[in-house]
Amino acid sequence: MIALHDLLSAGHGAAIVNAPVCRDGATVLDRAAFRARVSALVTLMQTQDARRYALCIDDPFDFACALFALFACGKEPVIPANATPGYLADLADAYDAVLTDADLPRGVRDADADADADADADATHTPGASHTIDPQAPLTLYTSGSSGAPKPIRKTLAQFNAEVHTLEKQWGALVGDATMLASVPHHHIYGLLFRVLWPLAAGRAFDRAISIEPLHLQTQIEQCGATVVVSTPAQLSRWPALPGFAALTPAPRAFFSSGGPLTLEAAQEYAAAYGAAPLEIYGSTETGGIAWRRQDQTDAWQPVVGIEVRRDEDGALNVRSPHLDHTGWHRTDDKIAFDADGRFRLQGRLDRVLKLDGKRVSLPELEARLALHPYVAQAAIVPLEGASRERVGAVVALTEAGCEALRDEGRVLLAQTLRRHLAAYFDVVVLPRHWRFRLTLPFDARGKLPVAAVAAAFEPRADGVEVLAEARSADTLHYELRVPPTLVHFAGHFPGLPILPGVVQVHWAMHLAAEHVPAVRALASVDRLKFMAPVPPGAVLNLTLAHDAARGRVQFAYRLSGRECASGVIVYREPA
């Protein structure tokens, strides 16, 4: 391990200078290449007046070089949660200039390609000048702002240095010389630490490409050898259903997960396939990592080495950590309960309390009680707008048993079952009146669960359809869909007798299929297309999508009131 503020210092031996930093396909960029690129960027940035730079660079190697070039220049990096124009506009007062992938001069961005043009260039690569970095150099991250305005979290390089050394103490022996593969971006603290800063300090490589799905992971593993996978619950929960999941060879030494709790079902699938459940990391941007767990061992959280935790009288978790900017206790809004072994379990948030019809209710408590039902894997409850009185809606990710109940009993009876379950604990006036059933909750790319994304489950999608429920049985997906009466496609089709166009039905089937079978986007043909009955405005349709991977096709069928009204076969081309 090397201190982060010493990465550009002089006097390092050959082992440190030649340590790998980044794998780009078959090419390995070492620390000498990293230092050379940083030096080139330092020369560029020293000519510019801007002091605070918003780093909106997606390439992890370019990002790392720009980050340390700013540190070396005594300038301040600002890392927005995303680079959308509206988001950056909200942060306009927080930075003086924006630095994107396209802003890097070609000579800097492609230095590795030029240097690796032949073996001689590799052997004589100039490591770049040494630079002094202040250990207390500032760095500002922004939270995703899922429930409000983006929130700045100001930290120092010393805090990140303390955390990467903690990570190495906790898991360095397990990771060893493995390459870090990641399906998460580096614009938040988890991706920044696990994908970039920890491997940089430890002298192990990170892969330049984002890991998309198991078959892509296998390609990366074949190039890298020993690997570790850094991901989120949303992605890890999706991968077991995709081709190649259980056949990764050699198996990754570990799967890391953060950004929310991984379902027990998903954890068990990894334990069955690879002998160990993913290592889940619990923490926040403010505190850094706090605790970890492996659900094949326990569902309780164990504090990370060097972290102290305690519980306030109201249940709030307090943390004392070297990753903070002070030595005192930091109070969080997470409620916990300790077990006899000093580990703890999360019991929701303390700051999500509503008053419905005069009754106060904790949304986390509703979610926690709902999750105790055997049909429920995860649940999220949100306030819904647009009514004369405040109401809440529940979005439920179903277990296998829940999916079976949905298929056998239907959405309405399933919702009644879950309301009866909650009625044993809560006044009936606070129970959710609106329900959506999903295979997974709508976590974003950072593994967060934005309130807006949960609330969007109660609105029509961008393609016009409203998804009321979805379930899976083997290779078949089952949907219950509502056709909004105000759908634009009814205009003129036909005057006085509006009917849903067949092309829209095919479009919906393809879009929903592509969310679970991405290869469907490479459409070859739609065969055996039939329309047997008209679909009026406001109709509730049942759609089944049966995937035949061996033949490269998805068969779809719509039913209305038990009668088949449309069907066909989507044939797709296998990727080359």
CATH code of the domain covering residue 444: 3.30.300.30
User: CB within 8 A of 299, min separation 6: which ones?
Assistant: 264, 293, 345
> What pLDDT does 358 receive?
64
DSSP class of 4: G
> What pLDDT does 87 receive?
79
Task: Judge if 406 and 534 occupy the same domain.
Answer: no
211: in domain: no
Task: Judge if 440 and 471 occupy the same domain.
Answer: no
Task: Judge if 544 and 526 occupy the same domain.
Answer: yes
> What pLDDT does 42 receive?
95
Among residues 521, 513, 509, 519, which one has the least CA distance to residue 557? 509
Tokens of 150: 């983006």
Among residues 255, 254, 181, which one has the least CA distance to residue 218? 181
What mean pLDDT comes out for the span 228-236?
92
pLDDT in tens, 56-68: 999 999 999 999 9
Number of domains composing the chain: 3
> What pLDDT does 117 receive?
40
Query: Residues 448, 454, 459, 463: what is their CA dihedral angle, to the nearest 10 degrees?
Result: 30
Question: Which three-class secondary structure state does DSSP give residue 213?
Answer: coil
For all residues of the chain together, what is the average pLDDT?
90
Query: Residues 255, 323, 339, 231: what is their CA dihedral angle, to the nearest 10 degrees?
Result: -20
Task: Judge if 435 and 493 occupy the same domain.
Answer: no
Task: Judge if 471 and 432 occupy the same domain.
Answer: no
Residue with tokens 């892509």: 216
250: in domain: no
pLDDT above 60 (res 115):
no
| Domain end point (choices 450, 469, 495) | 450
State the DSSP H helix or E strand holding residue 257, giving kind and residue range, or none if neither.
strand 255-258
pLDDT above 80 (res 108):
no
Supply the range of the domain harboring residue 435: 352-450
pLDDT in tens, 302-341: 999 999 999 998 899 999 999 999 999 999 988 999 999 9
What mean pLDDT comes out for the span 352-380?
86
> What pLDDT does 386 receive?
64
**What is the spatial distance between Cα 125 and Cα 117, in angstroms, rounded to a whole number?**
11
pLDDT above 80 (res 351):
no
> What pLDDT does 126 receive?
52
> What pLDDT does 212 receive?
87
**What is the spatial distance between Cα 110 and Cα 27, in angstroms, rounded to a whole number?**
13
Q: Which of 172-181, 270-279, 353-362 has the lowest mean pLDDT?
A: 353-362
> What pLDDT does 119 receive?
34
184: in domain: no
Q: Are 247 and 217 in contact (CB under 8 A)?
A: no
Task: Judge if 53 and 124 occupy the same domain.
Answer: yes
Q: Are 210 and 229 in contact (CB under 8 A)?
A: no
514: in domain: yes
> What pLDDT does 118 receive?
39
Please give the backbone phi and psi of residue 347, each rounded to the nearest 5 degrees, phi first.
Answer: -125, 35
Task: Judge if 444 and 419 occupy the same domain.
Answer: yes
pLDDT in tens, 122-177: 333 455 678 999 999 999 998 743 344 578 999 999 999 999 999 999 999 999 99
pLDDT above 90 (res 460):
yes
Task: Judge if 147 and 18 occupy the same domain.
Answer: yes
CATH code of the domain covering residue 490: 3.10.129.10
| Domain end point (choices 125, 156, 187) | 156
> What pLDDT does 151 receive?
83
CATH code of the domain covering residue 137: 3.40.50
Task: Judge if 408 and 537 occupy the same domain.
Answer: no
pLDDT-based confidence at 98, cuts 50/70/90?
A: very high
Tokens of 66: 């720009």
Q: Are 220 and 190 in contact (CB under 8 A)?
A: no
332: in domain: no
Q: Which residue has the higher pLDDT, 147 or 437?
A: 437
Please give the backbone phi and psi of residue 410, each rounded to the nearest 5 degrees, phi first.
Answer: 95, 165
Task: Judge if 107 and 10 occupy the same domain.
Answer: yes
Task: Judge if 470 and 438 occupy the same domain.
Answer: no
Task: Judge if 6 and 148 occupy the same domain.
Answer: yes
